[in-house]
Structure 1
Amino acid sequence: MSMNKARANRLVLSFALVAAWSGTALGQPFREPEKGSAERSAILDTLRPAVEAEMRGPVEFVVTTMRVSPNWAFVQVEPQQPGGGAIDPEKTGFAGESDMMDGLTVYGLATFQFGRWNLIDHMVGPTDVGYAAWQQRYGVPPAVLGLE
């Protein structure tokens, strides 16, 4: 094979790989794990201890948003008492502050490292889009945060 033909073959292969990768990255930068899946449970269980400490008791999550890429998971959840009861903000770690919060909505960010999901950051009841800073602070892709 001549040098020019070998170079042309490598160039075609390079373009094909870039096109395939770009299609995947741009076509669907994130996914939502199925309800009841082990991955979904693992992501929520990563967030649970921090939220239970703040809520001062066990919680279940109602998932509003869950976006997962290979290395990142972003969630927006509504915590509730096991079985579905509402949580009284005045009986949580936010007692006396709840009037300055936008409910108990929780936003969480986890990363997949060392074979498991690890909580990176979370916030409860922000009155603005506080998680927007996570893009710059942690390098999370904006599409995972819904900020494309």
Structure 2
Amino acid sequence: MPVGKRAIFALAASCLLLAGPASSRMLREPAKGSPERAAILDALRPAVEAEMRGSVEFVITSMRVSPGWAFVQAEPQRPGGGTIDPQRTGFRGEADMMDGLTVFALLTFQLGRWNLVDHVVGPTDVYYAGWPKRYGVPPALLGLE
């Protein structure tokens, strides 16, 4: 390979290697009990409560925030830690085709508040894999680097 092409190749490879870590360094998890974490969950809660047919609290498995975006993976439960019976939710009769009640959600920060963009409950595949293309969200936010 000629020296000029080798230098261009090395530069391109360096840029690709640096792009991944740089984007993941911008990710953070809001502290438990923080106003930001509460605001993100409060934006998600109405949609999940409608599907669960009642009040919910979230046990967070993962929450990642980057500038303008948030991704949440959570287990809903009844206030105080009660389990949710799928047969008493909007998923009645569908529980056999679901992988539990795990919630995956994408939110955006616009107009001074968090807004729900999309979410899914109990997917049996990586439903959110299409969100980078559909919504322009950084793949690293979703753990899809």
- CA deviation digits over 1:12-38, x for unaligned, max 9? xxxxxxxxxx79834613100000000
Contact 1:55–1:92 (CA<8 Å) still a contact in 2? yes
- Picking from 100, 105, 121, the partner of 1:103 is 100
In the other structure, the counterpart of 2:3 is none
Contact 1:71–1:113 (CA<8 Å) still a contact in 2? yes
Contact 1:29–1:144 (CA<8 Å) still a contact in 2? no
With over 3 angstroms needed to count, the CA separation of the structure-2 counterparts of 1:90 and 1:119, relative to structure 1, is same
SS in 2 for 1:30: coil
Q: How does 1:34-53 map to 2 (within 5 A)?
A: 34-53=31-50
In the other structure, the counterpart of 2:84 is 87
In the other structure, the counterpart of 1:75 is 72
- Picking from 126, 136, 139, the partner of 2:136 is 139
In the other structure, the counterpart of 1:28 is 25
TM-score normalised by structure 1 residue count: 0.83
- Picking from 119, 124, 141, the partner of 1:122 is 119
Amino acid at match of 1:54: E
Contact 1:29–1:143 (CA<8 Å) still a contact in 2? no
TM-score normalised by structure 2 residue count: 0.84
Q: Does 1:112 align with 2:109?
A: yes
Pairwise CA distance, 1:80: 0.1
With over 3 angstroms needed to count, the CA separation of the structure-2 counterparts of 1:143 and 1:53, relative to structure 1, is same
Amino acid at match of 1:114: L
**Runs of 4+ with >2 A deviation:** 22-27
Structure 2, gaps ≥5 residues long? 1-18
Contact 1:132–1:147 (CA<8 Å) still a contact in 2? yes
Deviates more, 1:26-35 or 1:67-76: 26-35
Pairwise CA distance, 1:70: 1.2
With over 3 angstroms needed to count, the CA separation of the structure-2 counterparts of 1:146 and 1:122, relative to structure 1, is same
Give the paired residue count.
127
Amino acid at match of 1:144: L
Structure 1, gaps ≥5 residues long? 1-21
Amino acid at match of 2:49: E
CA distance in 2, matches of 1:55, 1:24: 38
CA distance in 1, matches of 2:20, 2:60: 28
Deviates more, 1:24-33 or 1:67-76: 24-33
Identity across aligned pairs (percent)? 74
